[in-house]
């Protein structure tokens, strides 16, 4: 009896101490410039991955979460969700199973869920897209991708919900990305009226038409009156007008396979050299200028290609060409972007082509 009483006293003394033992502080990954923070749940661990901003893994459940910060422009938020969904639908490695809106009350945003299955692997993925700013056009989107075995398909959304409980937007990004002028940037914004003066009428959108070729890996905007035609499975041509003289001026974008995909081009300079050779076949006296590297910095992509300009003569007509070559992010192909126009009209069309180039969004 005395021994039992002593045991009860020991438990009474130690129980409060055990209940008050401090818990381990939760671990977080925080990216202040991108203005977000995510908690690393118990059992998960951060893993190195150079292709995303952050990755963490639950080895027991065989699940990995990848976080990217995507820079627009994608239009308004619904455009962004649609663009990203169409991009996955165009990727032969994925089969899109479901896309649904995703209310995120803890974050104060409405997001989007995309459930996919890898066609060549027994894996499923859920992508949650979260706009940085609510109820409007965002220039930054948080892209969370949860990868799991196909046997976890039924639990995929609940697992993502659990991860999202620890995700927070911490403020404004340190520096807003520059948007192409055709997507509402300063060059095409009407001046603001001061005081009581009546508001100026909205300026007409100089590039009101949209070309979306996500299976080829890109989209852009182009002017009214121009026509778009797909010449073959890999080539799109945008002509400056319907009459014969205007159709002579055109923007052409070709996808050219790299060596890695069974093609003959190893680097962007090889593609540019092929175009120069083609032009010299038309005019051995062709002149080439402005041969230099070309940088593409948009949608979080940092692509380095090359560009040049050419002047040449065919028959009695003088022509000018502006050619840009960029590698696809995965190295499978090169985008060959080129404007060709009669020499006397080239300067007029090059300004329009430059705006179209700034609206060019290459899919990651």
Tokens of 182: 């055709």
Closest CA to 321 of 329, 312, 330: 312
Closest CA to 333 of 245, 248, 235: 235
pLDDT value of position 10: 40
- Grade residue 298 by pLDDT with cuts at 50, 70 and 90: confident
pLDDT in tens, 102-121: 888 888 888 889 998 877 77
Segment (H or E) for 346: helix 346-358
Q: What is the CA radius of gyration of the chain?
A: 27
pLDDT value of position 154: 84
Q: Taking residues 243-268, what's their average pLDDT?
A: 82
Q: In what order do the strands lie in the sheet with 301-314?
A: 227-232, 235-239, 250-257, 333-342, 317-327, 301-314, 287-298
Question: What structural domains and CATH numbers belong to the chain?
Answer: 26-169 (3.40.1000.10), 204-362 (3.40.1000.10)
Q: How many residues does the chain have?
A: 364
Q: What is the 3-state secondary structure (H, E, C) of 17-81?
A: HHHCCCCCCCEEEEECCCCEEEEECCCCEECCCCCCCEEEEECCCCEEEEEEEEECCCCCHHHHH
Q: Where are the beta strands (DSSP E) in the chain?
A: 27-31, 36-40, 45-46, 54-58, 63-71, 94-104, 109-118, 123-131, 140-149, 167-169, 209-213, 218-222, 227-232, 235-239, 250-257, 287-298, 301-314, 317-327, 333-342, 361-362
Yes or no: say if 112 and 104 are a contact pair by the CB < 8 Å rule. Answer: no
- Grade residue 72 by pLDDT with cuts at 50, 70 and 90: low
Q: Taking residues 57-71, what's their average pLDDT?
A: 90
Q: Over 80: is that where the pLDDT of 82 sits?
A: no
pLDDT value of position 24: 57
With 0.75 as the threshold, say if the pTM is over it.
no
Segment (H or E) for 328: none
Closest CA to 337 of 230, 251, 250: 251
pLDDT in tens, 323-346: 999 999 888 999 999 999 888 888
pLDDT value of position 299: 61
pLDDT in tens, 130-189: 888 876 666 678 889 999 998 888 888 889 999 999 999 987 765 444 333 233 333 222
Q: Over 50: is that where the pLDDT of 196 sits?
A: no
Q: Over 70: is that where the pLDDT of 191 sits?
A: no
Yes or no: say if 70 and 364 are a contact pair by the CB < 8 Å rule. Answer: yes
């Amino acid at each position: 009896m005395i021994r039992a009483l002593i045991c009860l006293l020991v438990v009474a003394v130690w129980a409060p101490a055990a209940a008050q033992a401090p818990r381990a502080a939760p671990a977080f990954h925080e990216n202040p410039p991108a203005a977000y923070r995510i908690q690393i749940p118990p059992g998960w661990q951060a893993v190195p991955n150079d292709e995303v901003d952050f990755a963490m893994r639950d080895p027991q459940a065989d699940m990995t979460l990848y976080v990217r910060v995507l820079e627009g422009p994608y239009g308004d938020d619904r455009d962004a969700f649609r663009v990203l969904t169409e991009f996955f639908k165009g990727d032969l490695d994925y089969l899109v199973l479901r896309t649904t809106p995703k209310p995120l009350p803890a974050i104060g945003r409405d997001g989007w869920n995309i459930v996919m299955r890898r066609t060549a692997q027994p894996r499923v993925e859920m992508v949650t897209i979260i706009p940085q700013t609510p109820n409007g056009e965002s220039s930054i989107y948080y892209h969370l991708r949860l990868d799991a075995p196909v046997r976890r398909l039924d639990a995929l959304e609940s697992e993502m919900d659990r991860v999202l409980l620890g995700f927070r937007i911490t403020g404004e990004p340190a520096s807003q990305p520059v948007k192409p002028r055709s997507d509402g940037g300063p060059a095409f914004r009407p001046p603001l009226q001061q005081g009581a003066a009546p508001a100026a009428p909205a300026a007409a959108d100089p590039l009101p038409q949209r070309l979306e070729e996500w299976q080829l890996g890109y989209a852009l905007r182009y002017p009214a009156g121009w026509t778009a035609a797909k010449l073959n499975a890999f080539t799109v041509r945008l002509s400056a007008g319907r009459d014969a003289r205007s159709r002579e001026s055109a923007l052409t974008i070709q996808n050219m396979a790299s060596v890695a995909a069974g093609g003959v081009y190893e680097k962007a300079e090889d593609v540019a050299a092929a175009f120069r050779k083609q032009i010299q076949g038309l005019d051995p006296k062709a002149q080439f200028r402005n041969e230099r590297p070309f940088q593409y910095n948009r949608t979080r992509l940092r692509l380095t290609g090359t560009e040049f300009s050419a002047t040449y003569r065919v028959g009695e007509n003088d022509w000018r060409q502006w050619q840009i070559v960029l590698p696809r992010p995965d190295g499978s192909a090169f985008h060959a972007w080129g404007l060709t126009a009669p020499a006397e009209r080239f300067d007029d069309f090059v300004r329009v082509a430059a705006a179209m180039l700034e609206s060019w969004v290459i899919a990651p």
